[in-house]
Chains A and B, each alone.
Chain A
Amino acid sequence: MATPLARFSRRTALLAPVLALGLAATACSAPGADESPRAGSDAAVSTELGSDPITLEMYAETGFPLAKALADEFTKQHPNVKFNIREDQFTVIVENAPRVMASDNSPDIIRLPTMVDLVKDDLLKNLDPYFTAYGWDKFPASQLVQLRVGEGGTTRGTGSLWGMGLGYSVTGVFYNKKLAEQVGMTQPPATIAEFEQLLAKAKTAGVQPIMQFNKNTAGINFPHQALQNQFGDPAQVADWIFQKPGATFDTPAALKATQTIQKWAQAGYFPKDANALDYASMVGEFQKNNGLFMFNGDWESANLDKTMPGNVGFFLFPSESAGGKHVAMSAPNTFGISAKAKNPDAAAFFLNWAHTNPTAREIAVKIGGSSPGGPSDLAVPAAAPNTVLAETLKASQQLGEENGAVDFTANATGGIFAAAITPEMQKLIAGQQTPEGYVKAVQAEYAKELSR
């Protein structure tokens, strides 16, 4: 019997030509697509649904029942259109979207992660012709600004329209009414200073001031950006997210926000085990009355109304001085039409219908828990009184009026959240990173990604 070493070398000897052959067979061509001419955006589009039976392929997010509810209602109103819905966790969609959309079975309508890469790779349909055909210029411009990407996938926030929202979410602070009473909070704080006083009061009263997750993805980025939005010009934050040339994260506002987060962490305002808490645990703990505040979005409103009825309130994060402008992270639940869609006109018809049909708008509020968007002259359907859903809807309208919506810093680039914000935020609250170091590390990763 051969010695292991001899066996190994024989195997190596066998493997080497195989690998060489394989390399030779593949090395002639680089992986990936060839440079191809970009699809024109001026193709004729139709706003007629027609009566031919068709099936719209939809790729939606698990735990987001709105898409299915809207699809069902649409089929009820237009029986010739059926939906075939594939669902995945959002993170899975983020990973799969490019490959699914590049395949021959590309869906017609797809829940989108960040759009820039998809535009760069010619995987999305340009919606400009539909914008004109359907008159989406009657929508508030700020509603769709996050869905615009410059030609060739450069800057976001300008250029052509590449997606629409099925519901437009708003974020802010949920609070536990019973605990608020216990702490002596009679009304939502009007300034950041008041908010910090409440945090201190809660701590003294033995109430967990903020229930926030920081495992998997940095939930503490919510309060961080809420502070950053207020400490400087929110346009600066938006420019950075939209990758405007010269924009940087290394600003006094971001630094001050990071210092505040560090201060709050040291004071014990966040759960001691925040780095071991995931999103579901955070919501669970909040529902168990373990936490006065929770930074979160209106997608949780309907759920909170069910699990702790009458006991939850919501406010937009306050400004530094009383009466200042509200700024909040707010983003559409973005859906786009694949460049390879078989029924793009019907898909666009559906997206337009979701924004304008009265029943569809009601479904967006009742099931999605968020504003349906659409033209400014259409009223937002009312939610049941004394629910936190009604409060988040009101906040959403208020934010629209104050024009205070900004996207999430986590959406600035494809990798910024996982590669920089999350690990650095975990270090920051554990005292392993300085505020200066945090700001620089996030900017460094951003610069690295943009240079690719």
Chain B
Amino acid sequence: MTSAFGSAPVGRGDPVSTPARPTRPSAARAPRKRWARAGGTGWLFVLPAVVMYAAFVLRPLVLTIQYSFYNWNGIGVARWAGLDNYLTVFTDSDLLKIIGNALVLIVFFSFVPVALGLLVASLVRRITTGAFGTVVRTVLFLPQVIPLVAAGIAWSWLLSSNGLINQLLRAVGLGGVARAWLGDFDTALPAVGVIGAWVLLGLCTILLVTGMSKIDPALYEAARLDGAGPIREFFAVTLPSLRQEIGVCLTVTIIAALASFDIVYISTSGGPGLQTTVPGLEIYRLAFSQRQVGLASALAVVLMLLVLLCVLPIQRLTRGDKS
């Protein structure tokens, strides 16, 4: 058990397990040396982390999987349910719609911030040095610092029927378009998506700007000498060099989309109808307000698999041929 727990975090590059310096053979020290060569000291160093990881990540994970096979209200007697909960997740039209909502949010939480982030990063790349650059980076990163709950509240004011956005629309004569963006069946999900895009744009931009600063300027010079314009330069030099950063951005933002909770909970509570209900919110409701711990756990397991299903191919695509 311990070795299985430990190997994952230690694995590569364990400094202690590198061949030991030749020392004088000594009978008394031999066992200790063997112990050290086997990585014993290393194990000792990672032990606190392993214990925490096992107690707060692996144990809940295993328990969630276990709960998903039961019908349980969280307190009383649990009844074995087999795969019933999973069957419900995959056949209940409401739950399928909820999973679908999360997939739609990927467009807003992930594709939009990455695309816009690339654009903004290319524009600010040249001014990343100096005081102005710092200001730009700080401003772009600010949404990341604001608690999501505060962002959700502020945006629900902006998007309310008398909020700033509708006031602006009315001011420019587009009063006909004005509506309660978060309360309207057609616009609620995109409106939630916009909030997510706003939050995550800063993170993506900063990652991409940092990535761009590492690109060898000689590449740009060479491209320019070959007669490439800014657009050609972007596609031929910038984009390929940012493969890893884009991979990180996509991974982080897709997880944010699939596991979204705070923004949705604050801005719409999943309404109107089930229009903006996402798996995270539904898991919480099923477990704590409807007390269906089993079904909630099954949905959580499915959500975890869905995250892996979306993220692993990206990891492979963006890092694949570096080896």
Min C-beta distance of B150 to chain A, whole Å: 16
- Interfacial chain A residues near B116, Cβ < 8 Å: none
A216-B269, A277-B183 as given contacts; A99 in contact with B77, CB under 8 Å: no
- Is B28 an interface position by the 8 A CB rule? no
With an 8 Å Cβ cutoff, the count of chain B residues facing the other chain is: 56
Chain A residues, Cβ within 8 Å of B134: none
Q: Is the CB of B75 within 8 A of A99?
A: yes
Q: Is the CB of A123 within 8 A of B75?
A: yes
Give the CA-CA distance A379 to B29 in the complex, in Å: 90
Is A31 engaged at the interface, CB distance under 8 Å to the other chain?
Answer: yes
* A205 contact set on B, CB distance < 8 A: none
Do B75 and A4 have beta carbons less than 8 Å apart?
Answer: no
Q: With A and B bound together, what is the CA distance between A409 and B243 in angstroms?
A: 56
Which residues of A have CB within 8 Å of B185?
427, 430, 432
Q: Return B17 CB to nearest CB of chain A, in Å.
A: 16
Q: Which of A19, A98, A216 contacts B74 (CB 8 A)?
A: A98
The reply on A27 being an interface residue by CB < 8 A is yes
Q: Answer yes or no: B41 CB below 8 A from chain A CBs.
A: no
Q: Please, what's the 1-or-0 string for A239-282, where 1 marks a CB less than 8 Å from any CB in chain B?
A: 00000000000000000000000000000000011111100000
List residues 100-157 of chain A with CB under 8 A from any CB of chain B: 102, 117, 120-121, 123
- Asked if A11 is at the interface (CB within 8 A of a chain B CB), the reply is yes
CA of A275 to CA of B269 in the docked complex: distance in angstroms?
A: 11
Do A23 and B289 touch (CB < 8 A)? no
In the complex the two chains form, what is the Cα distance from A385 to B320 in whole Å? 79
A11 B8 Cβ-Cβ under 8 A? yes
B58-66, B117-125, B229-237 - interface stretch: B58-66
Question: Which residue in B58, B161, B273, B289 is a CB contact (below 8 Å) of A273?
Answer: B161
- The answer, yes or no, to whether A422 is at the interface (CB within 8 Å) is yes
| 0 or 1 for each of B70-107: is its CB under 8 Å from A? (1 = yes) | 11111111111000000000000000000000000000
Partner of B272, one of A14, A123, A419, A426: A426
Residues of B within 8 A of A450 (CB): none
Separation in Å of the A268 CB from the closest CB of chain B?
13
B32 at the interface (CB under 8 A from A): no
Interface of A is mostly: helix
Is A34 among interface residues, defined by CB-CB distance under 8 A? yes
Kindly report which residue of chain A lies nearest to residue B321, judged by CB atoms: A3
Q: A1-44: contact bitstring with B at CB < 8 Å (1 yes, 0 no)?
A: 11111001011001101110111001100111111000000000
Given contacts A19-B61, A23-B66, A32-B75, contact A215 B4 (CB under 8 A): no
B166 to chain A, nearest CB (A): 10
Is A418's CB under 8 angstroms from B285's CB? yes
In the bound complex, residues from chain A placing their C-beta under 8 Å from that of B61 are 19, 22
Q: Is the CB of B62 within 8 A of A19?
A: yes
A414 touches B289 (CB 8 A): yes
Q: Please, how many angstroms separate the alpha-carbon atoms of A415 and B75 in the complex? A: 16
A432-B291 contact given A22-B59, A274-B183, CB 8 Å threshold: no
| A139–B69 CA distance with the chains assembled, in angstroms | 47
B276-288 vs A, CB cutoff 8 Å, 1 = contact: the mask equals 0100000001001
Q: Identify 18 new A-B residue pairs, CB closer than 8 A, beyond the known A423-B272, A432-B273.
A: A4-B319, A8-B315, A21-B1, A22-B66, A30-B80, A98-B73, A102-B75, A215-B183, A273-B161, A273-B180, A275-B180, A275-B184, A277-B183, A415-B292, A419-B285, A423-B271, A430-B185, A452-B292
User: Could you pull out 28 A-B pairs where Cβ atoms are within 8 angstroms?
Assistant: A4-B315, A4-B319, A8-B312, A18-B5, A18-B62, A30-B77, A31-B78, A32-B73, A32-B74, A32-B75, A98-B75, A99-B74, A99-B75, A121-B76, A216-B269, A216-B271, A272-B161, A273-B179, A276-B182, A276-B183, A276-B184, A414-B289, A419-B285, A419-B290, A427-B272, A430-B185, A432-B272, A452-B71
Interface residues of B (CB under 8 A from A): 1, 4-5, 7-8, 11, 58-59, 61-63, 65-67, 70-80, 156, 160-161, 179-185, 268-274, 277, 285, 288-293, 312, 315-316, 319-320, 323
